[in-house]
Amino acid sequence: MQAALEESRAARGTTSPNPPVGAVVVLEGEVIARGRTQPAGDAHAEVMALRAAGDRARGANLYCTLEPCAHHGRTPPCTSTLIEAGVRSVTYALRDPFPEVDGRGHALLEAAGIEVHAGDGEAESRELLAGYLKHQRTGLPLVVVKYAASLDGRIAAGSGDSRWVSGPETLKWAHRERPGLDAMVVGSNTVVVDNPELTARPGDPAGPVDPEVHQPLRIVVDSRGRTPEDARILQGASPTLVATTAASDAAWRQTMKTAGAEVLVLPSRPGRGESEHLDLTALVEELGRRGMLTVLFEGGGVLLGSLFDQRLVDRVHAVIAPIIVGAADAPTPVAGQGADRMRDAVRLRDIMIERLGEDTLFTGVPDWAALDAAQADQKNRDLAEGER
C-alpha cells in the first residue's frame, strides 16, 4: 500500500476534479506494475496499473488508495476492468464517498468472486485525498493558507522589504509542494511589492520552469485594479486568473486580458472603514465549480485576514524564521477584523512540526467547530448571569 500511496502523492494537482489515486499490482510479494490517475477524461489508477501489468495481472493482488469506481462516467468502471483482468484480490485504503460508488465498487468485486479488503493505509489516503473529500462533501476546494513570519510575527521589515523572511530550505519545500495544487492565490499588494512569478520549480527554485512539471493556476485577488501589465505573474506559459470587482477600471481589465490573463469579476463585501474587498467566499465557490480540489493562498495579510474572518481556511502552514524584525508598523501575516477577545481566537488542532533548515514549519487545522461550541457556551453563561 505504501507504493500505491506514493503514486497517489505524485498524481496530486493533475487529476481534478477526479481524486489523485495510486494503484499497484503485486504478484508473489513483488510490485510488478504501478499506476496513477491521469488527467480528467483519461484512465484511472487501477486501469493504468493493469495496463502496465498485462497478462501478469491474472491471479495477482491489486492495491489502491480509493475504492474502485463502479459507474460509467468519462471512463468505464474500474470494477469491470478488474474483473476482466482476473485479479485475485483488491485492497483499497478508503471508501469513495462519491454517490455512484460509495460501497458499490466493493460489493461488485465481491460478487464477482474477488477477495476485497478495505482500510489499509486509510489515514494516509485520507490526508492525500483531503481536497477531493471536502469537494465531495461541500462542493468547495480545500483552502490552505501559507505564510512565513519572523519570531515577532512580521512578514516584512518596516520598509515593506520581505526578501527573504525564511531560508532556502523553506523555499525548496514550497516549490516541492506547488505541483500538487490546483491553484495558488496572492493579493494585489503581494504582486506590487514582491512581483512573484508564482510557478512550481521543484527541481531548482532558481532555475527555469520545467515544462514536464504541473503548474497550478496563478490567481491574483485585485479588487480595484492595481496589478501592472508587466507583472511577472502575467508572464510565461502558466495560466493566470485575475479576480476583481466592478470597482476596477474596465480599461485595466482589458489590459489584463490582453496580457493573457482570464479576468473574473466577482461581488465585493465591506472591509474595514469604507473600503470594499472582493468576496472571497464567491471566489472559493467559483473554484469549486471549476472542479478544483486544493487551493493555496499565500498572502498578504489583508487577504489571509479576510479568509479567516469568513471562516474559509481548512489548513495552515506557518513557517517561523529565527529572526526579530521589531518594527512597530511592519506587516503581520494575518490582518482582517480578527478576534476582539482571546476566547474568540480560533485554535489549531492536529498540529505537526517540521524543521526546514533553520526555520520551523507548523501545520494545523483551524478548529471552527470548537470555537462555535465555546462561543455558544459563553453566550449561555452570559445569559444565565444576566438573569440573576
Q: Quick one: cell of 342?
A: 482571546
The CA radius of gyration of the chain, in Å to the nearest whole number, is: 23
**DSSP string spanning 281-340?**
HHHHHHHHHTT--EEEE---HHHHHHHHHTT---EEEEEEES-----TTS--S--SS--S
Listed residue (337, 294, 334) closest to 142, CA to CA: 294
Select which of 6, 7, 28, 46 is catalytic.
46
Clarify whether 46 is annotated catalytic. yes
All three cell numbers of 101, joined, read 460508488
Distance CA 107, CA 379 (A): 48
How far apart CA 363 and CA 353 sit, in angstroms, is 6
Whether 201 and 207 have beta carbons less than 8 Å apart is answered as: yes
- Which residues are known to be catalytic? 46
